[in-house]
Structure 1
Amino acid sequence: MASDLSARDIERANFAFSIYDFDGNGNVDAFYIGDILRGLNLNPTLAVIEKVGGTKKKNEKKIKVEEFLPIFGQVKKDKDVGCYEDFLECMKLYDKAEDGKMLLAELSHILLSLGERLSDKEVEEIIRDCCEPEDEDGFVPYVPFLKKMVAGPDPPAEETPAEEAQ
C-alpha cells in the first residue's frame, strides 16, 4: 500500500508522523492516527480510524512510520467520502420550496442523528460558526453552510483589496 504513495506523499506523511512523535523515538501512539491523517488533508471517519488500527485510548498501542505509511495509503485511496456536490444534493432533499433554504431545525437534526453522531454542543458550535442567521420562519441558506463546512477549519484566506494593491 505504501508503494502506491508518491515520494511527496511519503515525505508529507513522515513529517506529519514526526509531529506526533512526542518522545522522538520513532513511535506514535495509535490514538493519534486520525489526527495525523487529518493533518494530511484526509477525512477518515471514526470507524475508519478504528478499522486501520487507531485506538480510542492513549497508551494502548504504538506504531512506527513504516506501519503508518500503508495506513495512509489505504485511507488516501478510499473513495468512500462525499464532496461538496454530493452534500449539496442531499441538502436539496430538505429544500421544499427549492429556494436554497432549509429549516435550521432539520439541519440540526441531520447533524445530530445521521452519520457519525455529534453532541448537542458540537452541533451548536457548527451552527454558530457555519450558518447564517435563520430568518423569521426558521430557515437558513444551506449553500453558504456547505461551503464553510467543506472548506474546513482553516479555509484559504481571501485577499482584501488593500492586500491586492501592495
Structure 2
Amino acid sequence: MSDLSKNDIERATFAFSIYDFDGSGKIDAFNLGDVLRALNSNPTLATIEKLGGTKKKGEKQLSLEEFLPIYSQAKKDKDQGCYEDFLECLKLYDKNENGLMLGAELTHTLLALGEKLEDKEVEEVVKDCMDPEDDDGMIPYAPFLRKMCDGWSKKGAAAPADAEPAEA
C-alpha cells in the first residue's frame, strides 16, 4: 500500500464510502469492480475475481484496509486497455475511414466480443453513450468511446476529474 499516494488513498476512501451503502465501513465484494472503475481503473471480470470480487451479492464483505491493497494491485495492472487502444479496435469497422461505423456493428461488438455484455447492459450503454444514428445507420464511434472511457457506469458515476478531453 506504500505505493499509493496520499491523493490515491483519499480518492479510494471516497469511492469506497460511496459503495458502503449501510455505513458499516465495508463494501460488498460484488461491487469491487464498480469501485475500481469509479477510480478510473478498467479491470476485466477475471481480474476482479482474482482480486477478491464475487459474482453474487452478500458472499463477502471488504473493509477499507482490505480494499486499499486491492486498489494498489489494480493500479499496477497494465492489461486494462485505454481510450487509444479501444479506438484502434473500432477503426477496424470504419470502412470509409471517416470516423463512422454502423450502430448495429457497435451493438453486435458489445454483445459478442471480449467480455460480452448482456442485452440489457448493451441497451443501457447505447441509450447513455451513443449518438443517434444518421440516415444510413452510422454513428461517430470516437464520442461514444470517449463517454465509455470517461466513466459511464450503470450506477451513473460521474466522469473522473482527471479524464482527458476527446480529440476533435
Q: TM-score scaled to structure 2, two decimals?
A: 0.79
Provide the aligned length of Structure 1 versus Structure 2. Answer: 156
- 1:146 to 1:59, Cα distance in 2 relative to 1, 3 A: closer
Supply the distance in 1 between the matched residues of 2:42 and 2:91 (Cα, whole angstroms). Answer: 23
SS in structure 2 of the partner of residue 4 of structure 1:
coil
Q: CA deviation at 1:136?
A: 2.7
What's 1:47 paired with? 46
Q: Which entry has the higher C-alpha Rg, 1 or 2?
A: 1
What's 2:148 paired with? 149
Correspondence 1:73 to 2:72: yes
Q: C-alpha root-mean-square deviation of aligned residues, in Å? A: 2.3
Supply the distance in 2 between the matched residues of 1:113 and 1:65 (Cα, whole angstroms). Answer: 35
Per-residue CA shift, 1:115-143, capped at 9, x if unaligned? 22112222222223322222332222212
Per-residue CA shift, 1:88-127, capped at 9, x if unaligned? 2111111111122111221111010112211222222222
Please tell me the residue identity of whatever aligns with 2:73. Q
List aligned pairs for 1:3-82, cutoff 5 A.
Answer: 3-22=2-21, 24-82=23-81
Q: TM-score scaled to structure 1, two decimals?
A: 0.79
Moved over 6 A (4+): none
What's 1:97 paired with? 96
Supply the distance in 1 between the matched residues of 2:132 and 2:159 (Cα, whole angstroms). Answer: 21
Supply the distance in 1 between the matched residues of 2:132 and 2:48 (Cα, whole angstroms). Answer: 34
Please tell me the residue identity of whatever aligns with 2:46. A
Q: Percent identity among equivalent residues? A: 69
Please tell me the residue identity of whatever aligns with 2:121. E
Q: CA deviation at 1:81?
A: 1.6
Q: Looking at secondary structure, tell me which structure has more helix per residue.
A: 1
